Amino acid sequence: MAKEIEQSLKSLLGIQDFFYKNRTKKEIQIPKSSPQKEITVKEYGHSFSINLSDYLDTGLFLDHRETRKWIASKSLNKTILNTFAYTGSFTIYAACAGAAKTYSVDLSKTYCEWIKKNLALNNLPPEKNWTYKMDTLEFFKYAKRKNFTFDIIIIDPPTFSKNKGKNFSVQKDHPDLINGALDLLNPRGLIMFSNNFRDFLMETRRLQPCSINKEISMIPPDFNGIPPHHCFIIKKQ
């Protein structure tokens, strides 16, 4: 049956190759790198390195492709901060759209190197696109000391994570993230806050005064059914 489906899709859509993957609990999130298994793909003209076999995720979340286009449309001459940056796809879109400067922050050394690889694939200069291996809240403190401010801040955290004995939960910790970002936001700037926790509730009482576009839909049509993420636009009041 799989072969017949392959042939039909190749004929109808011009697909060249297929890769089958089972998402099991035994899979490891960040094993040793296997460069020979990495391939370069294109999304709306942007190049990304992905790894189909070694990671639980491939390096590019397709459900956010319309969100990336939206960020790009706002990025010309802007200073962008991309937190929980993963492999830097939001950064790539913003920089290619003419952002003045970008800052990408992720706690993983593996992902920081991946961001740099994606920047190089798109011929984006490192002197305008900085990468920081840091915890996001620690970066907020660092940026405040340095008097950094930003026009667009992207916050797309995991639902749960654990680092150095500290447990992160997007439901519990999102007010600290949003408040920290508001402290660094320029007066006319915006925060794009997204997460994929199905039961997420925005705790507005714990936030600084701000305006929230409660939810905007940037979900591609091929992700029908249960929405894969929530997306909010937050601005200073």
The HSE-up count of residue 204 (CA atoms within 13 Å, CB side) is 9
**Residue 155 · residue 84 · CB < 8 Å:** yes
**Residue 116 · residue 131 · CB < 8 Å:** yes
Give residue 53's pLDDT.
84
- The average confidence (pLDDT) of the chain is 90
What is the CATH classification number for the domain harbouring 174? 3.40.50.150
Residue 73 covered by a domain: yes
For helices 65-73 and 89-96, give the axis angle rounded to 10 degrees: 30
Count of domains observed in the chain = 1
For helices 89-96 and 109-121, give the axis angle rounded to 10 degrees: 30
Residue 53 covered by a domain: no
Residue 161 covered by a domain: yes
Q: Is the pLDDT of residue 216 over 50?
A: yes
**Residue 115 · residue 90 · CB < 8 Å:** no
How far, in Å, CA of 27 to CA of 149, rounded? 39
pTM reported for the whole predicted model: 0.88
Residue 46 covered by a domain: no
Residue 17 covered by a domain: no
Q: Which of 4-13, 50-59, 87-96, 169-178 has the lowest mean pLDDT?
A: 4-13
Give residue 115's pLDDT.
99
Q: Which domain holds residue 193?
A: 61-236
**Residue 47 · residue 41 · CB < 8 Å:** yes
Q: Three-state secondary structure along 77-89?
A: CCEEEEECCCCCH
Section 148-162 average pLDDT: 96
Residue 30 covered by a domain: no
CA 220 to chain centre: 16
Q: What is the DSSP letter of 54?
A: S
% of the chain with per-residue pLDDT over 90 = 71
Closest Cα partner for 64 from 37, 80, 82, 39? 82
Q: Which two tokens stand for residue 7?
A: 């042939």
Residue 191 covered by a domain: yes
